[in-house]
């Protein structure tokens, strides 16, 4: 109760979060949540799956339609599990080699060993449980993207079995086309982790990895895609279908989360209908938010590139170290006013001696506030709240009241069907 009360009065800016519609909520509390299926549709290990099979097949078909591809597996229960499916399909156990985005520059913990500020590598993360040797692709800090020439050189030198694009700080499309050509030269498979940007890709606004050279793509269903917390793998390579299926089940999991499959199917019906409008607005809002923050004296990264082409904006807050502190301090200050954001490592932070607990950056996302109906003028209002708190150092308790007042007009989830709706028509089975 207290959490719900607080979050419904907050400004939610966590880039990896979104909210589900009433129709999705109905699906995820259905009886499906009690059941076991295991295996592929029509080849289950358990009885009682007649309607579950129908729903999962609908979900698979909708996923294929949304991403325009021949294969979708909606069983991985999270984005990390979807990444593991790709590692399982494309690399050898114990002596396999992979290259991915550097973690301190925006790669995900599931891509590589985690490195402490003293440079110690901690193994046991998802990328390493398979025993992979992992090296980083080269990163261009000024443009917040992979460096094509240096990465190409590193790929030819290391000769990995797999290259993985995508990351958690993800402002601009990665050079998938250019580097996939290098990957093909050395016979490496190409994966794309679209956990953050899957919705932008499906709605046609970011890049199209499956057409640019990626063999398969992993995703989370709940970041720019407003589905329940689950994952998926998609591919447009007929010849890889069996490998990908087997890499998931029985290799990695037994049952998957059937209620979330139903919920994801509903979210896909919403995005096939409203995604173009919604995701266009998500990106426009991120760009407007970057501009508004920049105009108020914040150092928003990549002004020369228009700040962002995704749902994220990243700001460098080291100038405020002496007045209000670094990322961790500012995260708490904003939370006191009920504005919920992520502190984030900037690419140069570790080199300059900053720690991930109190780094030099903030990562802000517009997926959830857009889904609540906010537009460009609200981005200016939110940038004003940031100025009041961080630059003018106003009392966060006072700002908190203004935030609650501001949020009163944005209590409904938009870009979904009003019940009774098309989603229910599709999913009368659950
Ligand atoms: C969030 C994220 C994941 C993990 O997704 P979960 O669904 O939370 O497991 C994987 N990769 C990247 C790049 C992410 O940002």
Using one digit for the tens of pLDDT, what is the confidence trace for 46-68? 999 999 999 999 999 999 999 99
Q: Which atom of ligand 1 is nearest to the CA of 16?
A: 1
Determine the pLDDT at residue 94. Answer: 78
**Most ligand 1 atoms within 8 A of CB, residue of 85, 195, 217, 221 to mutate:** 195
- CA-closest residue to ligand 1 atom 13: 167
Write out the two tokens for 332: 């708490």
Are 183 and 190 spatial neighbours (Cβ–Cβ below 8 Å)?
yes
257 CB within 6 A, ligand 1: no
* Nearest of 286, 307, 111 to residue 199 by alpha carbon: 286
Taking only Cα atoms into account, the Rg of the chain, rounded to an integer number of angstroms, comes to: 21
325 dihedral zone (left: phi>0; alpha: psi -120 to 50; beta): left
pLDDT reported for residue 187: 97
Ligand 1 contact via 16 beta carbon (within 6 Å): yes
CA–CA separation, 62 and 357 (whole Å): 40
Helix (H, G, I), strand (E, B) or coil at 163: strand
CB of 196 shorter than 6 A to ligand 1:
yes
Joined together, the tokens standing for residue 160 give: 């990995």
Within the chain, which residues score under 70 in pLDDT?
Answer: 115-119, 121-125, 419-428
Ligand 1 atom closest to the Cα of residue 196 is: 15
Residue range(s) in the chain whose domain bears CATH number 3.90.1150.10: 10-18+274-407
Report yes or no: 234 and 219 within 8 Å, Cβ to Cβ: yes
Least Cα distance to 145 among 114, 166, 125, 162 occurs for: 166
* 283-288 contacts at long range (C-beta below 8 A, 24 or more positions apart): 283/200, 283/205, 283/308, 283/309, 283/310, 283/311, 283/366, 284/376, 285/366, 285/369, 285/370, 285/374, 285/375, 285/376, 285/379, 286/310, 286/311, 286/312, 286/313, 286/365, 286/366, 288/376, 288/379, 288/380
Q: How far is the CA of 80 from the centre of ligand 1 (A)?
A: 6
CB 33 within 8 A of CB 259: yes
Distance 220 CA to ligand 1 centre (A): 6
* Residue ranges of E strands in 139-230: 139-140, 145-146, 162-165, 189-193, 216-220
Atom of ligand 1 nearest to the CA of 229: 7
Ligand 1 centroid to 175 CA: how many Å? 20
Predicted pLDDT at 108: 92
Quote the pLDDT of residue 352.
94
Ligand 1 close to Cβ of residue 110 (< 6 A): yes
- Other CB atoms within 10 Å distance of the CB of residue 27: 27
Task: Please list the residues that pair with 122 across neighbouring strands.
Answer: 114
Return the number of other C-beta atoms located less than 10 Å from residue 66's C-beta.
22
- With tokens 């009690």, the residue in question is 34
Q: Is the CB of 195 under 6 A from ligand 1?
A: yes
Instruction: Pick the atom of ligand 1 nearest to 230's CA.
Output: 7
CATH of domain 22-271: 3.40.640.10
Contact 99, 193 (CB under 8 A): no
Q: For ligand 1, atom 7, name the residue with the nearest CA.
A: 79
- pTM listed for this prediction: 0.96
Buried b (16+ CB within 10 A) or exposed e, 344-356: bbbbebbeeebeb
Top-tier CATH class for 10-18+274-407:
alpha beta
Domain with CATH 3.40.640.10 in the chain: 22-271
What is the rounded distance in angstroms from the CA atom of residue 15 to the CA atom of residue 310? 10
Q: Tell me if 63 CB under 6 Å of ligand 1.
A: no
Q: By C-alpha distance, which of 189, 210, 177, 222 is closest to 87?
A: 189
Give dist(CA 169, CA 144) in Å, integer: 9
Q: Whose CA is nearest to atom 5 of ligand 1?
A: 79
- Asked if residue 221 has its Cβ within 6 Å of ligand 1, the reply is no
Report residue 295 as tokens: 């105009």
CB 125 less than 6 A from any atom of ligand 1: no
Ligand 1 centroid distance, CA of 195 (Å): 5
Distance 321 CA to ligand 1 centre (A): 30
Query: Which pLDDT value is given to residue 113?
Result: 76
């Amino acid at each position: 109760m207290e959490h719900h009360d607080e979050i419904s009065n907050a400004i939610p800016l966590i880039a990896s979060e979104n909210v589900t519609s009433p129709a999705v909520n109905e699906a995820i509390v259905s009886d499906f949540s009690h059941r076991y299926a295991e295996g592929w549709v029509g080849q289950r290990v358990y009885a009682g799956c007649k309607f579950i099979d129908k729903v999962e097949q609908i979900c698979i078909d909708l996923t294929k339609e949304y991403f325009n591809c021949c294969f979708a597996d909606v069983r991985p229960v999270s984005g990390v599990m979807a990444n593991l499916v790709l590692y399982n399909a494309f690399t050898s156990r114990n002596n396999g080699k992979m290259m991915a985005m550097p973690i301190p520059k925006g790669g995900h913990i599931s891509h590589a060993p985690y490195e402490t500020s003293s440079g110690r590598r901690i193994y046991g993360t998802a990328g390493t449980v398979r025993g992979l040797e992992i090296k980083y692709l080269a990163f261009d800090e000024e443009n917040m993207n992979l460096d094509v020439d240096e990465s190409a050189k590193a790929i030819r030198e290391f000769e990995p079995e797999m290259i993985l694009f995508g990351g958690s700080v993800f402002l601009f499309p990665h050079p998938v086309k250019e580097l996939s050509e290098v990957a093909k030269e050395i016979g490496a498979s190409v994966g794309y982790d679209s956990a953050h940007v899957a919705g932008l890709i499906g709605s046609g606004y970011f890049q199209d990895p499956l057409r640019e050279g990626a063999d398969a793509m992993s995703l989370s269903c709940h970041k720019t895609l407003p589905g329940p917390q689950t994952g998926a793998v998609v591919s447009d390579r007929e010849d890889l279908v069996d490998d990908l299926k087997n890499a998931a089940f029985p290799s990695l999991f037994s049952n998957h989360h059937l209620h979330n499959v139903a919920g994801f199917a509903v979210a896909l019906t919403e995005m096939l209908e409203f995604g173009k409008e919604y995701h266009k607005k998500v990106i426009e809002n991120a760009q407007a938010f970057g501009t508004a923050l920049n105009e108020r004296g914040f150092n928003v990264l990549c002004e020369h590139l228009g700040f962002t082409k995704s749902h994220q904006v990243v700001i460098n807050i080291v100038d405020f170290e002496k007045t209000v502190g670094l990322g961790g301090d500012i995260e708490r200050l904003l939370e006191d006013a009920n504005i919920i954001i992520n502190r984030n490592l900037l690419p140069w932070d570790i080199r300059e001696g900053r720690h991930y607990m109190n780094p030099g950056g903030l990562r802000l996302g517009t997926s959830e506030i857009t889904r609540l109906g906010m537009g460009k003028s609200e981005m200016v209002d939110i940038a004003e709240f940031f100025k009041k708190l961080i630059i003018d150092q106003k009392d966060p308790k006072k700002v908190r009241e203004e935030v609650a007042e501001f949020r009163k007009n944005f209590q409904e989830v938009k870009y979904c069907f009003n019940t009774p709706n098309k989603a229910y028509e599709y999913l009368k089975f659950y």
